[in-house]
Amino acid sequence: MLEVKLGVWGKDRIADEKGLCHAGDYYCVRCYSKDKKVKAEGFWPCIDPDIRSFPYCKGCITMLQYELMMNLGKE
């Protein structure tokens, strides 16, 4: 169980004194959509600055990386 309330991406705007957002201040968007409250650990995808990055937990980032690798050769 989480002790601190984390933000919901797209609803809450949590920024530090420099105006930067940190993934650890939010719930994982994938888990939250399944009614699970899991603390995010990183933003994904971060491979292109033009792609909006969402906060995900470590497990979801790993799954998204696997899905990306599996779909690289598909057209």
Domain map (residue ranges) of the chain:
1-75
Whole-number Å distance between alpha carbons of 41 and 36: 15
Assigned token pair, 1: 């169980």
DSSP, res 24 = G
pLDDT at 35: 94
pTM of the entire structure?
0.79
pLDDT at 75: 66
Alpha carbons within 13 angstroms on the beta-carbon side of residue 40 total: 25
Q: Output the tens digit of pLDDT for each of the chain's 75 residues.
A: 455 679 998 898 888 888 888 899 999 999 999 999 999 999 988 766 666 689 999 999 999 999 888 888 776
